[in-house]
């Protein structure tokens, strides 16, 4: 079992460097830079991701966090044939090759759902969310999250999921994947500070 995002990345990199491996011949920065940074920011031992490797690049999507990632996964699978993709499930600190149907099944089971300003986790109210567009017209948005329980009880995995949900909601409001996202707060405090404190308690989860 992988204990750090670095160990997981090394295993992913080793797959792509196996002699005769037919994928990731181009755009290797997708893995070496983009995926590596995303794992460093969002992965924990309890996280679940779908990793898709193509000849020209990779895609790394969290499972169960937002329907946006399910849509992206389905788009990749429909665009590229079965012989053009290599799929893996990252779950509970492991990395396992899976089929396309298994990837779809994993993505079809949302943990978090956002409706009418409320974030639900396993169908129970989890937090309130409000996206505030930049009044200066720069299209950046700040996101205010209000806990529905004592925020000190949120686990690292839950805090990271809230951050991903917030970023997805900001994208919807700005209608752009490239618009900058401003401060994301949880009960008035920068959520990244909350995450940093949670990581300090569980240093091997990073």
Number of Cβ within 10 Å of residue 148's Cβ equals: 15
pTM: 0.91
Q: What angle do CA 6, 97, 160 make, to 5 degrees?
A: 45
pLDDT at 60 over 80: yes
What does the alpha-carbon distance between residue 51 and residue 108 come to, in Å, rounded to a whole number?
A: 16
pLDDT at 55 over 60: yes
What does the alpha-carbon distance between residue 46 and residue 84 come to, in Å, rounded to a whole number?
A: 29
Q: Which two tokens stand for residue 134?
A: 């930049």
Beta strands at 94-98 and 112-115: parallel, antiparallel or unpaired: unpaired
Which uninterrupted H or E stretch holds 75? helix 67-79
Beta strands at 124-133 and 118-121: parallel, antiparallel or unpaired: antiparallel
Which of 33-37, 56-60, 66-70, 176-180 is the least confident region? 176-180
Q: What is the CA radius of gyration of the chain?
A: 17
Locate the domains of the chain by residue range. Answer: 5-107, 112-205
pLDDT for res 65: 97
Percent with pLDDT over 70 in the chain: 95
Q: Which two tokens stand for residue 152?
A: 């000190």
Residues facing residue 50 across a β-bridge: 61, 89
pLDDT for res 205: 44
Average pLDDT over the chain reads 93
Q: Is 23 helix (H, G, I), strand (E, B) or coil?
A: coil
pLDDT in tens, 127-155: 999 999 876 655 678 999 999 888 778 99
pLDDT in tens, 64-74: 999 999 999 99
Tell me the C-alpha to C-alpha distance, in Å, between residue 194 and each of 31, 156, 161. 27, 9, 12
């Amino acid at each position: 079992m992988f204990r750090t995002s670095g160990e997981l990345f090394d295993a992913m990199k080793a797959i792509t460097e196996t002699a005769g491996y037919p994928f990731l011949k181009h755009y290797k920065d997708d893995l070496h830079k983009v995926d590596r940074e995303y794992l460093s920011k969002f992965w924990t031992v309890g996280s679940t991701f779908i990793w898709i490797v193509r000849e020209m690049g990779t895609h790394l999507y969290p499972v169960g966090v937002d329907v946006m990632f399910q849509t992206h996964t389905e788009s990749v699978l429909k665009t590229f044939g079965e012989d053009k993709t290599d799929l893996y499930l990252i779950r509970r600190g492991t990395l396992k090759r899976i089929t396309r149907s298994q990837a779809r099944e994993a993505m079809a089971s949302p943990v978090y759902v956002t409706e009418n300003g409320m974030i639900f986790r396993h169908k129970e109210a989890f937090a309130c969310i409000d996206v505030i567009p930049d009044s200066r017209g720069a299209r950046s948005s700040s996101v205010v999250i209000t806990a529905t329980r004592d925020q000190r009880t949120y686990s690292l995995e839950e805090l990271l999921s809230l951050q991903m949900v917030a970023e997805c909601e900001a994208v919807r409001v700005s209608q752009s994947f490239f618009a900058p996202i401003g401060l994301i707060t949880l009960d008035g405090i920068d959520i990244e500070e909350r995450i940093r404190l949670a990581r300090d308690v569980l240093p091997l989860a990073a």
